[in-house]
Amino acid sequence: MSLADKVLAVNNDLPIRTDKPVHSGKVRSVYWLTAADSQRLIEEKGYDVPTDTPLAIMVISDRISAFDCIWKGEGGMRGVPGKGAALNAISNHWFKVFKEQGLADSHILDIPHPFVWIVQKAQPVMIEAICRQYITGSMWRAYEKGERHFCGIELPEGLTKDSKLPSLLQTPSTKGILKGIPGVPEVDDVNVTRQNIEENFKAFNFKNVEDISLYEKLLTEGFNVISDALASLDQIFVDTKFEFGYVKDTQGKDKLIYMDEVGTPDSSRIWDGTQYSQGQVVENSKEGFRQLLLNHFPDPDILLNKDRMAEREALAENNELPLTVLMSVSKTYTDIAEKITGEKITLSDNPKAEIIDILNREYQLID
């Protein structure tokens, strides 16, 4: 069996019983279960949710996206070996720690396979909850051009690239295109202030204005839990994106939870502590892959300029990256996952067949 066979690139064609279209994102695919299957699993498995809660099977892939494109490699490699299992393992770990420390629950009810979550339906808060401990990336690029105001926060003069910020900053942006909010452009992923959120909390899907403070508290606490744990591994938690949503508890009351993924190399920047103390930034996250792409192609502006999206998509479609690049990314993901979880990431020989088998045998969800 070739290495390419161990990569799960296509994850929206599994024969999971569903009566709705499969929703496929850049990395995960979501299969909404029928009402009958949802209710049956809640009762059989004893999930701590109301019996009428819609459930979904969420299947991760090994695809890698950067600059809004999916990239592939030589030899039929349509993804990065070990990436999906590493991402899930890291999120599973942090969600468990958050719950143990009394922060908040997540949307995950069950983990049948390293690539699979069974999740409850949540109503997402329409905010990309971004937290920053260092100035780098897009914030540094804007700061360097003279910008000092970010999401209603004023930054002091004299900051240097990749330096630690005076305090932990929350710089939220919109999740999707939100319409009719004064002062907020109708485009995806645009920075917003706390005042924007407070004055239009319903447009951001908050149930009440008090929950804005709760999400900020959960974001800060979650960030600090991960940052402290990574520091003990000599890793620096630079910045990250969390997502939040509402679910119903067994009494039918709304509760705010963590959702999507947390503290992963896809949603965060993580730097090597020893290298940073010696003046070097070594990425243990997807940022390293972005840098590889910028160095690999002769015209990096194609990757950075949103007006050249058609050229960028053609670049991703028509170029196979060297195997060494994908294996270097694989090592980054699996190494950091093993550091965080203390457990080995093993490659499935045939992940698709394994997923189908377990969902059939233990959950009776395969048609």
Assess if residue 61 is contained within a domain: yes
Assess if residue 262 is contained within a domain: yes
Assess if residue 307 is contained within a domain: no
Q: Are residues 19 and 100 in the same domain?
A: yes
With a cut of 90, say whether residue 288 has pLDDT above it.
yes
Q: Are residues 230 and 117 in the same domain?
A: no
Assess if residue 100 is contained within a domain: yes
User: Which of 227, 263, 260 has the alpha carbon at shortest distance from 122?
Assistant: 260
Q: Are residues 67 and 96 in the same domain?
A: yes
Residue 249: both structure tokens together: 């508890």
Q: Are residues 128 and 51 in the same domain?
A: no
**Per-residue confidence (pLDDT) for residue 250, from 0 to 100:** 87
**Per-residue confidence (pLDDT) for residue 202, from 0 to 100:** 96
**pLDDT tens column, 17-61:** 999 999 999 999 999 999 999 999 999 999 999 999 999 999 999
With a cut of 90, say whether residue 293 has pLDDT above it.
yes
User: What is d(CA 327, CA 288) in angstroms, rounded to the nearest whole number?
Assistant: 13
Assess if residue 201 is contained within a domain: yes
**pLDDT tens column, 130-172:** 999 999 998 999 999 999 999 999 999 999 999 999 999 999 9
User: What is d(CA 339, CA 231) in angstroms, rounded to the nearest whole number?
Assistant: 12
Q: Residue range 266-281: average pLDDT?
A: 97
User: What is d(CA 156, CA 165) in angstroms, rounded to the nearest whole number?
Assistant: 10
**Per-residue confidence (pLDDT) for residue 252, from 0 to 100:** 87
**pLDDT tens column, 345-359:** 998 889 999 999 999
Q: Are residues 63 and 139 in the same domain?
A: no
With a cut of 90, say whether residue 186 has pLDDT above it.
yes
Name the domain boundary from 253, 277, 301: 277
Residue 257: both structure tokens together: 């939870």
Alpha-helix runs per DSSP H in the chain: 35-45, 83-100, 137-144, 194-199, 210-231, 273-277, 286-296, 301-304, 309-318, 323-341, 351-361
In the sheet where 28-32 sits, what is the strand order?
Answer: 23-24, 28-32, 55-60, 116-120, 108-113
Q: Are residues 165 and 230 in the same domain?
A: yes
Supply the pTM of this predicted model.
0.96
Residue 96 sits in a domain whose CATH number is 3.30.200.20
Assess if residue 143 is contained within a domain: yes
Q: Are residues 89 and 150 in the same domain?
A: no
Q: Three-state DSSP class for 15?
A: coil
Name the domain boundary from 277, 293, 328: 277
Q: Residue range 337-352: average pLDDT?
A: 95
Q: Are residues 106 and 131 in the same domain?
A: no
User: Which of 316, 68, 253, 271 has the alpha carbon at shortest distance from 161?
Assistant: 271
**Per-residue confidence (pLDDT) for residue 324, from 0 to 100:** 93
Phi and psi angles of residue 37, each rounded to the nearest 5 degrees, phi first: -65, -40
**Per-residue confidence (pLDDT) for residue 298, from 0 to 100:** 95
Contact 126, 184 (CB under 8 A): no
49-85 b/e (C-beta count within 10 Å ≥ 16 → b):
beeebbbbbbbbbbbbebbebbbbbeeebbbbbbbbb
Instruction: State the chain's maximal CA–CA distance in angstroms.
Output: 61
Mean pLDDT of the chain: 96
**Per-residue confidence (pLDDT) for residue 2, from 0 to 100:** 83
Q: Are residues 14 and 100 in the same domain?
A: yes
Residue 147 sits in a domain whose CATH number is 3.30.470.20
User: What is d(CA 142, CA 191) in angstroms, rounded to the nearest whole number?
Assistant: 12
Q: Are residues 158 and 255 in the same domain?
A: yes
Beta bridge partners of 129: 242
Residue 67 sits in which domain range?
A: 3-122+342-361
Q: Residue range 234-243: average pLDDT?
A: 98
Structural domain count of the chain: 2
Contact 218, 224 (CB under 8 A): no
With a cut of 80, say whether residue 1 has pLDDT above it.
no
**Per-residue confidence (pLDDT) for residue 5, from 0 to 100:** 86
Assess if residue 333 is contained within a domain: no
* Confidence band, pLDDT 50/70/90 cuts, at residue 229: very high
Q: Residue range 248-272: average pLDDT?
A: 95
User: What is d(CA 327, CA 319) in angstroms, rounded to the nearest whole number?
Assistant: 17
Assess if residue 299 is contained within a domain: no
Beta bridge partners of 23: 30
With a CB cutoff of 8 Å and minimum separation 6, the contacts of 184 are: 174, 178, 190, 192, 196, 200
Q: Are residues 91 and 144 in the same domain?
A: no
Q: Residue range 257-275: average pLDDT?
A: 97
Name the domain boundary from 277, 299, 319: 277
Q: Are residues 78 and 38 in the same domain?
A: yes
**pLDDT tens column, 312-328:** 999 999 999 999 999 99
Integer Rg of the chain from CA: 21
